[in-house]
């Protein structure tokens, strides 16, 4: 079973590439972030033609998450139970479902913007709520994973130059502690470092030739419980999908399971 996560940075802009990638990659379940569309604008019909069911949680702004599956899709929960609001709104940043033999969450963790910004405090509250919300699934005997854009680099090696991030979000001790707390619920990072590259980044800014210079970050993560981690047979970052015209600034992260 092949599972992937991908921040597409607008599913409308990325649709031709998304459909071609699904058709060519053999992916059974894809966790999508940053759909940037309403639920009604989500391309469920186009995905259905390829054999995928869809579950989407989106409101048309810059957030939005989805799950697409060709191995079943049931028990859908939209939103983060007990999650905090930002400016009076609980943003569409989480969706979960049973996909065949596994249960998956697709999450788009708040960016945080700046350390002194209200959005940073919101990010930390959101991560605490995520830990609480996934605890029961993480402790279950069935394979379970949280996949998505966490907007946090777990270690200094997960950014191209840690000195360039001094005083910035994504690398602060508080954010990394929140990730550690999430793992303490019974989850582990199932995509090992260094994979097939010395720096297996998943995100490269569009500006300043960041991708050709490999000035990236590893912020798209797959955290699985024990049964999920034991079933992992391979994993990789599909850097090829970051290349060329019309690419997202994130690459898909793919995990193969023996279930």
- What mean pLDDT, rounded, does the chain reach? 96
| CA 229 distance to own-chain centroid | 17
Residue 20 belongs to a domain:
yes
Residue 119 belongs to a domain:
yes
Greatest Cα pair distance, the chain, in angstroms, is 47
Q: Render pLDDT for 149-193 as a digit per residue (tens, 0 to 9).
A: 999 999 999 999 999 999 999 999 999 999 999 999 999 999 976
- Domain extent at residue 155: 2-253
CA–CA distance, 246 with 18 (Å, rounded to integer): 11
Number of residues assigned to the chain: 259
CA–CA distance, 251 with 74 (Å, rounded to integer): 27
> CB atoms < 10 A from the CB of 249, how many?
18
Report yes or no: 218 and 200 within 8 Å, Cβ to Cβ.
yes
Q: Render pLDDT for 28-44 as a digit per residue (tens, 0 to 9).
A: 999 999 999 999 999 99
- Give the mean model confidence (pLDDT) for residues 35-55: 97
Residue 259 belongs to a domain:
no
Residue 237 belongs to a domain:
yes
Q: Render pLDDT for 65-107 as a digit per residue (tens, 0 to 9).
A: 999 999 999 999 999 999 999 999 999 999 999 999 999 999 9
Residue 258 belongs to a domain:
no
SS3 55: strand
Residue 217 belongs to a domain:
yes
For residue 23, the model assigns a pLDDT of: 96
- Give the mean model confidence (pLDDT) for residues 237-247: 95
* Residue bearing tokens 């929960």: 77
CATH number at 43 reads 3.60.10.10
User: What pTM value is reported for the model?
Assistant: 0.96
Question: DSSP code of 184?
Answer: T
Integer distance in angstroms from the first to the last C-alpha of the chain? 7
Residue 148 belongs to a domain:
yes
Residue 64 belongs to a domain:
yes
CA–CA distance, 258 with 235 (Å, rounded to integer): 12
Split into its structural domains, the chain has a count of 1
């Amino acid at each position: 079973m092949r599972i992937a996560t991908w921040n597409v940075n607008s599913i409308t802009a990325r649709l031709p590439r998304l459909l071609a990638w699904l058709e060519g990659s053999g992916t059974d379940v894809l966790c999508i972030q940053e759909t940037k569309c309403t639920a009604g604008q989500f391309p469920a019909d186009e995905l259905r033609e390829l054999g995928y069911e869809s579950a989407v949680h989106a409101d048309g702004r810059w957030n939005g998450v989805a799950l697409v599956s060709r191995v079943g899709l049931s028990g859908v929960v939209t939103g983060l139970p007990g999650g905090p609001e930002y400016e009076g709104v609980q943003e569409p940043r989480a969706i979960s479902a049973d996909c065949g033999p596994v249960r998956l969450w697709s999450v788009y963790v708040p960016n945080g913007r700046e350390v002194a910004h209200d959005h940073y405090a919101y990010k930390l509250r959101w991560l605490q709520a995520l830990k609480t919300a996934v605890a029961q699934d993480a402790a279950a005997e069935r394979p379970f994973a949280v996949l998505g854009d966490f907007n946090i680099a777990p270690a200094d090696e997960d950014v191209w130059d840690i000195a360039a991030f001094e005083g910035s979000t994504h690398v602060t001790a508080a954010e990394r502690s929140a990730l550690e707390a999430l793992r303490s619920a019974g989850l582990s990072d199932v995509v090992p470092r260094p994979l097939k590259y010395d720096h297996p980044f998943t995100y490269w800014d569009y500006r300043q030739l960041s991708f050709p210079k490999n000035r990236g970050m590893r912020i798209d993560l797959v955290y699985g419980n024990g049964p999920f981690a034991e079933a992992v047979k391979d994993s990789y970052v599909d850097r090829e999908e970051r290349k060329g015209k019309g690419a997202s600034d994130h690459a898909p992260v793919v995990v193969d399971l023996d279930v």
